[in-house]
Every structure is written in C-alpha cells, then in structure tokens.
C-alpha cells in the first residue's frame, strides 16, 4: 500500500515508454545486427536533426569536442545546431570495425 505524500513531497511520474529507452537492434549483436545498429546511428547523424541525434544519448551525457564541453541533452542540441550551421557539407561515415556480444566499435570519418 502506498503511503500518502506529505506537503513537501511530490510524486515522481513513472517513466513513459519511448523510443529512447530501447532501440533495436539490441545486444547481443550478430554481424548483421551490429552493421544495422551502426547504419542507423550514421543515418541519424546525417539527418542533421539535433533533437533526433540527442535522443540517442542519455539525459546526463557529457561530451567533449575540442574546447567545448556540452553537458546534457539541451546543451548537446545547442552544440549541434552551432556545429551544423557552420559545417554545411558535414557528413558522417561510420563503419563497423569490431563487435563482441554487447559491444560495438566503429571507425568514423567526417
């Protein structure tokens, strides 16, 4: 039985099912599913949609890009908007380099 909340407490909502919780293909990876996962990530980045790309990372992600250190999805979105406003011909290429169970390594170029 649930205890009633006091005036200083608030109920934390249950997480809603969403695509950000689990996106197939999921581990353990085969060669085919690893290639598919890499291609989906490449396509996401090449969409140049900052909101879409940021959803692939946790809410509390911490990035480093040269002298910039975006923290969290909102800063990542702003970073990507600035990046792609300057890099008009940006295109990311990801290739599967290795996979083993629940890990994937990629080679990328842009």
31: helix, strand or coil: helix
Domain boundaries, position 53: 49-89
Question: Are 37 and 63 members of one domain?
Answer: no
Residues of the chain with pLDDT under 50: 2-5, 13-19
**Domain total in the chain:** 2
pTM above 0.75, yes or no: no
CB 54 within 8 A of CB 77: yes
Do residues 110 and 57 share a domain?
Answer: no
Residue whose C-alpha is closest to residue 92's, from 52, 44, 56, 31: 44
Residue 110 burial (C-beta neighbours within 10 Å; 0-12, 13-18, 19+): exposed
Residue 10, domain member (yes or no): no
User: In this structure, are 53 and 42 located in the same domain?
Assistant: no
In this structure, the answer to whether residues 38 and 70 fall within a common structural domain is no
The predicted-structure confidence for 3-25, as pLDDT tens digits, reads as follows 444 555 555 544 444 445 668 89
- Which two tokens mark 63? 């990035």
Residue 95: inside a domain, yes or no? yes
What's the rounded Cα separation, in Å, for the pair 26 and 54?
A: 19
For residues 81 and 109, membership in a common domain is answered with no
């Amino acid at each position: 039985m649930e205890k009633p909340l006091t005036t200083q407490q608030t109920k934390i909502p249950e997480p809603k099912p969403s695509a950000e919780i689990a996106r197939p293909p999921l581990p353990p990876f085969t060669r085919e599913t690893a290639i598919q996962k890499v291609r989906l990530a490449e396509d996401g980045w090449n969409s140049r949609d900052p909101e879409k790309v940021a959803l692939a990372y946790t809410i509390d992600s911490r990035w480093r890009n040269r002298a910039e250190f975006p923290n969290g999805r909102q800063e990542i979105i702003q970073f990507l908007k600035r990046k792609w406003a300057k890099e008009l011909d940006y295109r990311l290429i990801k290739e599967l380099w290795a996979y083993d169970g629940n890990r994937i390594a990629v080679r990328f170029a842009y």
